[in-house]
Amino acid sequence: MATFSDCSTIISLDNINPRILKCDYSIRGEIVTLAQSLEKELQAKPGSQPFDEVLYCHIGNPQYLGQQPITFFRQVLALCDYPAILDKRETQVLFSADAIERASKIIDQIPGKTTGIYSDAQGIKGLRDTIAAGIEARDGFPADPNDVFLIDGATAGVQIMMQFLIRSEKDGILCPIPQYPIYSASIALHGGSLVPYYLDEAKGWGLEVSELKKQLDYAKSKGIAVRALVAINPGNPTGQVLAKDKQCEIVEFCKQEGLVLLADEVYQDNVYVPEKKFHSFKKISRSIGYGEKDIPLVSFQSVSKGYYGECGKRGGYMEVTGFGADVREQLYRVFCANCCANIPGQILASLVMSPPKVGDESYESYCAERDGILSSLARRAKALEYAFNSLEGITCNKAEGAMYLFPSIQLPQKAVKAAEAANAAPDVFYCRRLVSATGIVVSSGSGFGQVPGTWHFRCTILPQEDKIPAIISRLKEFHTSFMDEFRD
Ligand SMILES: Cc1ncc(COP(=O)(O)O)c(C=O)c1O
């Protein structure tokens, strides 16, 4: 019989894929582990902590923090999963007429008429038709269902694109810093090089093409072939919404430098300021005259974000344009090797891109649910931004969109020394202390990348609105006592 030591020679840290060890996804790391152990202690012994609940504000997981799913979407999903009740009398009472009608239409589009199938690797054709029509309605430019690839969430799409583009560590991907760590993690996993471009915090996390050019030239001088540029709009963790002229400059830059534009547009429905609007990069490229053949562009959308927040359903799509037929065929082969995206996630992606319309029975209640969530998120973003900015040593840009604030924190030297002694980066040290004192879980800036010598943390705006005042007073109380303890 094999012993433990036998096993450890068969599989050990020395002989697993070394890229795994380079793949850092610390936003799910030590602060969360600490929070979970505090939560366990609290459950086992109520009153044992200086707080009565742990609040997970470290990732954009809206329903975990109480956001309600959109009724129409869930009704259609339920009926698609259990079509046997479509013709029952009770169904007419419990479900809206348009949900019944949509579910019937979708079931007819699924080969085999059940969500239990493997679909075509690219996704169910009828759903891709609906998504393409939704993209066309959003952008005012044609969209082709054959360009739509359904995915198990944007994460799956990003992984596939990195696998597709990266041949060796000599291939580079330009990524914003701070960035959403799926990019650094997937680039590391596929053995490429992350080429950073820094967003300018002093200009509301602005993006300058001169910075892109500088970093591209530097990477080239080191022998890196830069293949693609990642633009996250609205930004995570930074919350900025790109202005149209900046987007035009990015498109022109990609065109001039021969880069694939990887447009992460998963927060397209999360914009909170009237002076900014979401514009897809495809719309921008088409509106400045670039057609299908001019620029390779991949746009990622997800069911996890927006006002839908259906992270657990693992759905989304990527719209792939500007790839030649031969390359597209190879991409299709990669999708075949991945089998297919899960069917409920595919259905939800089609619903998100084609919600109820004026005149549909659900239209009014759908609008009320959507607008209720979005206006509340906007208020929460403002309240938290205001609170952070009122704290000593903290400055925080506005969340124009997405689901996060990313305040910068100036830590006293004494705190930096204490962090060193605790073997932690200063921002990690601050986040550890924050969770231990308040139960509020945030992610340290180190996991996203930051200008060396600056410290940040990311906090979601997702806790329910009635909890925000208590969260703010917990934050204030903690921060004041932290600064009192460490002030130089
Ligand atoms: C910018 C960005 N892209 C992609 C994702 C991945 O989302 P999902 O895989 O749930 O679609 C996230 C999740 O937070 C994100 O913030």
Q: Is the CB of 236 under 6 A from ligand 1?
A: yes
Q: Which fold has domain 18-54+368-486?
A: Aspartate Aminotransferase, domain 1 (3.90.1150)
Q: Is the CB of 60 under 6 A from ligand 1?
A: yes
Long-range contacts, 327-336 (Cβ 8 Å, 24+): 330/164, 331/149, 331/160, 331/164, 332/121, 332/122, 334/160, 334/163, 334/164, 335/121, 335/122, 335/149, 335/160, 336/121
Give the nearest ligand 1 atom to 403 CA. Answer: 16
Q: Is the CB of 180 under 6 A from ligand 1?
A: yes
pLDDT for the residue 7: 81
pLDDT tens-digit profile of 291-345?
989 999 999 999 999 999 999 999 999 999 999 999 999 999 999 999 999 999 9
Distance separating alpha carbons of residues 129 and 350, to the nearest angstrom: 9
The residues with which 261 forms a beta bridge, in sequence order, are 229, 297
Residues of the chain with pLDDT under 50: none
pLDDT for the residue 30: 87
| Spacing, Cα 58 to ligand 1 middle (Å) | 13
pLDDT for the residue 29: 82
pLDDT for the residue 22: 85
Domain ranges in the chain?
Answer: 18-54+368-486, 125-353
pLDDT for the residue 229: 98
CA 262 to chain centre: 14
Q: Ligand 1 pocket test: which of 28, 232, 304 has the largest number of ligand atoms within 8 Å of its C-beta?
A: 304
Q: Got the DSSP string for 310-351?
A: -GGG--EEEEEES--HHHHHHHHHHHHHT----HHHHHHHHH
Distance separating alpha carbons of residues 162 and 143, to the nearest angstrom: 24
Model-level pTM? 0.95
CA distances 470 to 60, 112, 382, Å, are 20, 51, 15
| Spacing, Cα 66 to ligand 1 middle (Å) | 19
- The phi, psi pair for 432, rounded to 5°, reads -60, -50
pLDDT for the residue 331: 98
Determine contact, residues 282/248, Cβ cutoff 8 Å: no
Q: Which fold has domain 125-353?
A: Aspartate Aminotransferase; domain 2 (3.40.640)
pLDDT for the residue 5: 62
Determine contact, residues 54/38, Cβ cutoff 8 Å: yes
